[in-house]
Amino acid sequence: MVDNDAVTRPADKDPADWVTGDEPVTGPQQSYLSTLAQQAGEQVETTELTKAEASQKIEELKDKTGR
């Protein structure tokens, strides 16, 4: 029997292990970081971040803002 109430979610992968983690931050990541940073009362320089660094900062700010 299949449990239709179960939420299937892909396993979280450490951003440091991403194949593309060392590529430059994406536009959507920059936008989301700016929004979260503003809500957290922080300033974040996003232009020098990698995708992996941006993802880690997003998680940090989400925890801080309760999102």
The C-alpha atoms of residue 3 and residue 49 are separated, in whole angstroms, by 41
pLDDT digits (tens, 9 = 90+) for 8-52: 555 577 877 888 889 999 999 999 999 999 999 999 988 899 999
> What is the value of pTM for the model shown?
0.74
